Structure 1
Amino acid sequence: MYKAIGYAAQSASAPLAPMTFDRRSPRANDVVIDILYCGVCHSDIHQARNEWGIAVYPLMPGHEIIGRVRTTGSAASKYQPGDLVGVGCMVDSCQHCDACHADLEQYCLEGPTMTYTTPDRVDGSYTLGGYSNCIVVREDFVLRIPDGMDLPSAAPILCAGITTYSPLRHHGVGPGHRVGILGMGGLGHMGIKLAKALGAEVTLFTRSAAKAEEAHRQGADHVVVSTDPAQMAAVADHFDFLLDTIPVQHDLNPYLKTLKFNGVHILVGLIEPIEPAIDAAHLVLKRRVIAGSLIGGIAETQEVLDFCAAHDIRCDIEMLDIRAINEAYSRMIAGDVKYRFVIDMATLQNAE
């Protein structure tokens, strides 16, 4: 066992606070990682507050982990002590179903083991995430960090990056395509950068004209203010793809009308019922498609890390002292971060 410390919620109404606990001794195929940085995802808040109804306490969030290998299990051979590595949203899967064989572990037919609040496949204990000083992970779910990559800004690529990259790659986005990005938070700003690097013409949809300058700085070619009927009408039947990163219920109908025939509206931010109802005519009369996408498999997550390193793509971050995590949650809910908090885990040693 490894004595560890981290920040966890003890109930849905409790603030995150320091907690000491045991990390398991490494199994033969495990890697022990000293955590350097951990990104803060909005899903961490959902889980800590049990807004999805699946939380198990104590709950320690964190699935955007950058660290350094401390040691490995007896049969682990992919990494050596000192290697810089990452851990994303998953730490295991069944490894034998059709999805796993297709390198799509996120769709494991038996259910993937998520980085936190999921039963371990061996001992049944619930996983605890990256708001901590160390973690023990099966080596097949550990990512290699490319040489020269900025470590803090690499952390959110393991969630925000792969969540936007995977559907763009799956649907073959590239030169000649027109892509609309809905929303410009942690996911949206990465969607802009990645779609642009893949060669697409990129447009941000936003409710606020004040975001136009920032959108262009992120790489958007155009900006459409979605509350302006004239601007929306001007882009009717215009886009090949829409990447929808908006995490709350919103009306899809006006956006569907901006797609060409055969266009695809991809949901990555919304995991609750769609309201208001979709007018099926927007789909049937133009053979448009509404699709969904969940993070990405391990091979594709390595691919996006390498892609970002090759194209010098970084997530815009604000560094965080872990002692300010509860304040950071409040700021995230208020939209007061551009665009991801990343915890400097060195601040954990000052936790009381």
Structure 2
Amino acid sequence: MTVAVALLALVGAPPSEAKLEGKVVRLGGIYPITGKGAEWGEHSKIATDIALEEINAAGGVGGVKLEVVVHDTATEVGQAISLTRKLVLEEKVLAINGPCFSSEYEALAPLLDRLQIVIVSQCSSKPGLAKLSKWAFRNTLTSDKQLEPAVDVWKKRYKIKTAAILYDSADAVSAAEGAKILPVLLKKYGVEQKDILTYQTKDIDFSAQLTKIKSLGVDGIALGSCYQQAANIVRQARKLGLKQPFLAGACTGSPEFAKLVGDDGEGSIIGSAGWPDDPRPRNREFLKKFMERAGGKKPNYGGMRSYDNVYIMKQVIEKYGVTNKPGDLELDREKIRKGWAELKGFDGITGATGMDADGEGAGKSTVLEVKGGVFVKVEY
């Protein structure tokens, strides 16, 4: 599925540093609008639309209308690769927002040195992937960065001395969290790991794993899981009489998790890369616009960072002298790569962000707690 997103008429004059040609500045977007990651893709698309409307209403990019051509990867690696090639070779976009999932990103990044185009993920969080290519960037926080302060908060608040880990071995980020990140962090913060158990993404019955965890008598349960399975795990745990507090990261950081678990998840601690209820005025305005389009749902951090990514693209294009001339396409793509590599201190709705030497997002993690069916921010 292909959706070209370009909205509202242009007003205002271009910035002095921008000398853009043409009727449209065209970017690409590869989002998982269908498949297992549909919510993350839908939120990214909605947020992209909002940013485009705002930018174009204020004069576009250097006085030229901004467009993002969005393709649906269906959360499939092969789709992500073929659609990226289409955007680069046929649709001639300047840069690409996405992909979201780490499985897609990990397969795509090694191809970029040949394709020579920037990709910027809004939610891929498996550690170490951006260094696969100088063209690969991620405006998010890797799972280890998201989880570390959450582990510290969880341990101190609930006096956790022992824990079990349960993770989805079929999902790239969840598997990295469960097999590599959480064991290291638990050890670092003095929590004894009693056992590690796994499940598969499509599983719906977690009674065997939870019964084993119950027999261990641990103080807490740490999850490597996307929010749908995490919510099911929490609810089933309570039915089995487990009262331990839960800890989770990256893919559980959707506001839908807090809504789904309700009272069963009260007090759960989540490491995340954004908080939709940030009270700053710009965030409140974004949240209002988003919820109007999303049927009352709040954005996950992938949606929030997609919004920031469009604004960062605008800043980079204007600041680094992109011309938008067809004959300058390769040079313009290199200018955008340089702009992302040098990005520091961008003030977005997810806070101040920039890129480290590997092209990974650098900023402060957000620790969230489930209270009354919503996420509240925990200061640390």
Which bracket does the TM-score occupy, shorter chain normalised? Answer: 0.3 to 0.5
Which is richer in helix? 2
Higher relative contact order (CA 8 A, sep 6+): 2
Please state which structure has a larger fraction of its residues in strand: 1
Normalised TM-score (structure 1): 0.37
TM-score (norm 2): 0.35
